[in-house]
Amino acid sequence: MSGHSKWATIKRQKGVADSRRGAMFTKLTREIIIATRQGGPSPEGNFRLRLAVQKARDSNMPKDNIENAIKKGSGAAEGTTFTEMVMEGYGPSGVAVMLEAVTDNRNRTVAEIRSTFMKNNGSLGENGSVAWMFENKGVITVDTTGIDPDELALYAIDAGASDVKEEKGLLEIYTEPKEFENVKLAVEKRRKPISAEVTMIPQNTVSLQEKEALQTVKLLERLEELDDVQRVFSNLDYSDALIEKLKAEA
């Protein structure tokens, strides 16, 4: 199972502080605006917008905020012009890092991201330097407490899942992006997922000693905290020992 997925799940279960909820809503709003601009204001015909709206709802974002973001993206309401960016780099000990950003000022965003890498023992890379290490996949994580994980895994595969991994009460279901919605809907008939998203999955992970691993996590979290950064991915191996250390420090 993806260690990063386990750590992300733990952070979600701990909840989001009010001070960070506003920043999260800002990121969700930008994703809805971009998705609307690219594929139109109807979620039924816009896969990316459907995912963005569902993520906003799962995060308890008010309905009015969602509707206003769609209006801004469709041009029905005034709004800032945003640009999407994908940036790549390296963390401590060479861990591959990818991030997605949405910005109204490209130069500012690049400067902030470069500075964050440098301050946390990392470096910004060229386009294409690490992207080849990742695959775009749908990932659905389910708590298997009280249900048969093997039965659910077979059910997900029958619905179109490409792979499943089980570990310590969690089942992680992988899909091709085009199969994501069908598998998610099928799984929801059996158990509501803890999380479900289309994301970048590393083809191989890198194991580090505790000190270097914690430095890497610090870099990833500092990048996630930047206002313009939407999502951050890495090929760090989140071992059980690292997960326990992070839980203790959270």
User: pLDDT at position 14, please?
Assistant: 55
Give residue 74's identity as a one-letter amino acid code. Answer: S
Encode 6-27: b = buried (16+ Cβ within 10 Å), e = exposed.
bbbbeeeeeeeeeeeeeebbeb
Residue-wise pLDDT for 134-174, tens only, equals 999 999 999 999 999 999 999 999 999 999 998 878 899 99
CA–CA gap between residue 193 and residue 187 (Å, rounded)? 8
CA–CA gap between residue 164 and residue 172 (Å, rounded)? 6
Residues 70 and 7 in one domain: yes
Q: Which residue has the higher pLDDT, 3 or 177?
A: 177
Of 34, 54, 74, the position where a domain reaches its end is: 74
Percent of the chain at pLDDT above 70? 91
Of 29, 49, 74, the position where a domain reaches its end is: 74
Provide the domain limits for residue 95.
Answer: 83-131+205-249
Residues 64 and 184 in one domain: no
Residues 115 and 233 in one domain: yes
Helix residue ranges per DSSP H, 88-209? 106-119, 149-159, 180-188
Residues 112 and 163 in one domain: no
Residues 90 and 50 in one domain: no
Residues 96 and 141 in one domain: no
What CATH number did the domain enclosing 65 receive?
A: 1.10.10.200
Of 52, 74, 96, the position where a domain reaches its end is: 74
Helix residue ranges per DSSP H, 148-230? 149-159, 180-188, 210-225
CB atoms within 10 A of CB 113: 23
Residue-wise pLDDT for 91-133, tens only, equals 988 999 999 999 999 999 999 999 999 999 999 999 999 999 9
Could you tell me the pLDDT band of residue 242, with boundaries at 50, 70 and 90? confident
β-strand partners of 6: none
Residue-wise pLDDT for 10-51, tens only, equals 666 555 555 566 788 999 999 999 999 999 999 999 999 999
Alpha carbons within 13 A on the beta-carbon side of 204: 5
Residues 12 and 67 in one domain: yes
User: pLDDT at position 1, please?
Assistant: 45
β-strand partners of 163: 174
* pTM of the predicted structure, to 2 decimals: 0.86
The mean predicted confidence, pLDDT, of the chain is 89
Residues 115 and 214 in one domain: yes
Tell me: pLDDT of 177 over 90.
Answer: yes
What CATH number did the domain enclosing 147 receive?
A: 3.30.70.980
Tell me: pLDDT of 211 over 70.
Answer: yes
Tell me: pLDDT of 5 over 90.
Answer: no
Residues 144 and 52 in one domain: no
Residues 126 and 138 in one domain: no
User: pLDDT at position 75, please?
Assistant: 85
Residue 235 exposed, middle or buried by CB count within 10 Å (0-12, 13-18, 19+): buried
Total number of domains in the chain: 3
Tell me: pLDDT of 197 over 60.
Answer: yes
The closest of 156, 164, 163 to 187, measured between CA atoms, is 156
